[in-house]
Structure 1
């Protein structure tokens, strides 16, 4: 676009020079001279204005040029203050997110990414992805990682796991999705029994008295126990209405109800969760989760089309469809997103603002200029093109008015 804008400016210069040579031959050339002259002035003025944002025009230290590089620190402070006062206030975030359907928006995004965009939208997505990757890499990994991991630990600490597990178990029982789990458990029991028959026989043999051993009754008893267990497992596996299955389902239903409503069960689950979170292994897992997540984000940002291909893309489409169609799921996801973001703003708002400000301040002027110009430069070149054409039309209009005035 810079080449197009500059070429148009040079074309106007050539037309102006040529029209000046022919102006005396016919009055119509006066209109061409007026158009090209005004277009040349308008194009040069807008070239100067656009260039002055990012650098000194022609390398000359003209006052009030190279605006962005010379005001880098002020831009960082203003950007950080704008985010803090307009986005990272808990009440503001809660109010703005109350009417936002984050789940549906995420679903539409995932489905659109799977189906593919138009060429222009794809190019814009690639540019934004590259800018996002640059920003991610420039941020202090230790500071940003500390914020993310602290937020994750805090969310895990405050999250009520017991009701969530109860709702999942209850929904699974209602849909019959627990039955394959029971079948797998029965199969596991049969394999375990087969692998440990000798332990049962040894146990019966040790508990039997001398007379039973002498008469061989211990072996017959052991065979009876083993055969009885095999028969029970076979009957339970073959009969979907077996009483033992009903007992298991009753137990699962009771467990689901306790997880949802029983305060004592809530406390037991919370105690287990606290022990898991305080375990050093959990800390290492969270550290690894952050590193893998950051690497995955950077990989996806650098090559979004490749990362959203194949089976992974199909999985994302299914997730997106569920987020758009399931009303109950949308409510849960939106509530979680709202609480999470408000919590992050409350606890880490100042740290996030400080991180952004320090990051922008740490950029060298060339990096800042390249990133800002790369993000909006195409539109700035359109300003030059429009300035050239609009200037020409204004010049043409003024020349026409003057000629009309002379005729009177």
Structure 2
């Protein structure tokens, strides 16, 4: 918890506003003391000096009383253990508990959060920002970007990255891929989108046969008898086999109704059905899926995916203007316009945000209250004293100044009434 900006000088420093006002208040008290001494030593010169003496005397009393009251909040005046002084250091635990109860009763109850969230149009604000990201308060946008970048960099990257990568791997493990693959294959065959794949397989087989025909020739030569090899008929047999295979592949490529092609499509249809309904096939696909997820290459891919996502997030939050450019920026701007124009969507988003805030308050409100209380309890007396004095010390010194002036005016009024009546 931080009550002061980081740039504010320390309380004890001469440049601190509270320190300057303390010097002014103390200087005024000393000035009243000097004025009282001068007036008392010269009162015989003129009766009007008694009015000055009365003013200075009462001003000293008022200034000293307020000095004691202000000092007693933070420490023992003059170091003396006077009862009911150093109030804040002695009661810091009670202050923390009271502050925590105040937050809980006034801010962190589901009823209060729901009532306050009803007046907020979160969706409209987000829509206006997305639709016109260049408008609005640039300092707010830059500050939010810096805050998001600092938070992302401050998180434990090993732990956060492990959580994200573990979540990705776990998500992949629980996915039942077999029905998805089967439904996709069935839909592709129903719409005829499998035909280019089949053509590609046939052309690939033809190119493979052409590139490896020497293997067929060698196999025929090795398995032929001596007579076939002596007469050279093994070469004719090999040529016949290769030519027959090529004609078969050419017929399959030219004729969509070829029997072998229809047989292959029948096998694909059976595979699609087994992927959707056969438990044994689904278990086999699940085992293959788990082997792929456990493969070191897959783990490296997931690592790279996380690093790319983290780097992209950092680039986006560090340069929100660039992040809003391109297709992503156009999509976000369209979303912003939709949020502004679509009343029903805006209502749904606001309701979702309100329920999320209320749910978070109900789930974590007590934890936040406990955190505040324990944080204040964990502060030492010097820390809480210096932080509170930094926050309100300047106003407290104004109390001393006002007490000095008001005390002097009251003393002057009393002396005037005593003189006249």
Q: Point out the structure with the larger helix share.
A: 1
TM-score range, shorter chain: 0.3 to 0.5
- Structure 2 length-normalised TM: 0.46
- Structure 1 length-normalised TM: 0.48
